[in-house]
Amino acid sequence: MISFTILGSGSGGNCAYLETPTTRLLIDAGFSGKQIAHRLEKIGRSISDVQGILLTHEHSDHIQGLNVLCNRHKIPIYCNRGTKDAVEDKFKGYNNYRLFSTGSAFEIGDVNVENFSIPHDAADPVGFALSSGGLKVGFLTDLGFATRLILERVRNADVLVLEANHDLKLVQEDTKRPWALKQRILSRHGHLSNDSAAAVAMEVMSDRLRHLYLGHLSKECNRPELAFDRVSQAVNEIGARHCNVYLTSQDDICSTISLNS
């Protein structure tokens, strides 16, 4: 059994919670420690029960709660060497890192953690595929494009968190962003657009994929309805009516889902 909750996801903060019968993990910690603890309380869980934090990369919308969560609550951080070194430039005085090698699977309790390299402008960013009891949850956020390796790693997931960061037209029309930033967002080391997310969803779709979360939406360069409509259309085009598509928000907790093998 896996219980899974996205505590929030957007360009300003990202954090998810995964629970099995013996293991409780956070994936990223992109809100304040106080806010993460509050959101856990809202789903009937305590920060004191969390056994580890898996980090995808070191950008602030994925690590801003580490100071409180780690120094006050002594929660270990699981990350690769590149992410650790980058995090230490921003987050001092903490030594409880559990380092993994990118591409090498490991276990935390009854959770098997596969990690794999993703193209993004960070030190050594990764995606995750977390498995327990024959169930799999995949994480694909903050990536400019999906390689064949990435697609294979999350294929046959029961749950997939997939970035749908921006609408191309809204990025191009945005008058507040400098051209250099737009280039970064649209580059192969930037973020997935709604169209790209739709293409990934079609590519990895299987009979097992029942829950597809659209994450990391930009508040300025996307609209929830645009992301939802584009990806839902793609899912319906291939007849995958068994797959539920959900929107996420950095302001709201998604409903908890429970998976049974």
Identify the pLDDT of residue 181.
86
Identify the pLDDT of residue 92.
79
pLDDT-derived band of residue 93, with 50, 70 and 90 as boundaries? confident
Segment 207-230, tens digit of pLDDT: 999 999 999 999 999 999 999 999
Looking at the predicted structure, is the pLDDT value of residue 95 above 90? no
pLDDT-derived band of residue 177, with 50, 70 and 90 as boundaries? confident
Average pLDDT over residues 180-208: 95
Looking at the predicted structure, is the pLDDT value of residue 46 above 90? yes
Identify the pLDDT of residue 35.
98
Provide the residue ranges of all domains of the chain, joining segments of one domain with +. Answer: 2-256
Identify the pLDDT of residue 179.
80
- SS3 of residue 38 by DSSP: helix
Identify the pLDDT of residue 91.
84
This prediction has a pTM of 0.96
Identify the pLDDT of residue 222.
97
Identify the pLDDT of residue 17.
98
Among residues of the chain, what percentage have pLDDT more than 90? 92
- CA–CA distance, 84 with 238 (Å, rounded to integer): 41
pLDDT-derived band of residue 77, with 50, 70 and 90 as boundaries? very high
CB 208 within 8 A of CB 157: yes
**How far, rounded to the nearest angstrom, does the alpha carbon of residue 167 sit from its chain's CA centroid?**
19
Looking at the predicted structure, is the pLDDT value of residue 174 above 90? no
CB 33 within 8 A of CB 20: no
Question: What rounded mean pLDDT belongs to the chain?
Answer: 96
What's at 254, amino acid-wise? C
Give ∠ CA 127-152-253 in degrees, rounded to 5.
40
- What order of strands is seen across the sheet that includes strand 126-132? 106-108, 111-117, 126-132, 135-140, 159-163, 211-215, 244-247
Identify the pLDDT of residue 52.
98
Helices (H), the chain: 33-42, 60-63, 66, 81-88, 148-154, 168-173, 179-186, 194-204, 224-237
- CA–CA distance, 66 with 256 (Å, rounded to integer): 23
Segment 115-170, tens digit of pLDDT: 999 999 999 999 999 999 999 999 999 999 999 999 999 999 999 999 999 999 99
pLDDT-derived band of residue 175, with 50, 70 and 90 as boundaries? confident
Considering only the top CATH level, what class is 2-256? alpha beta
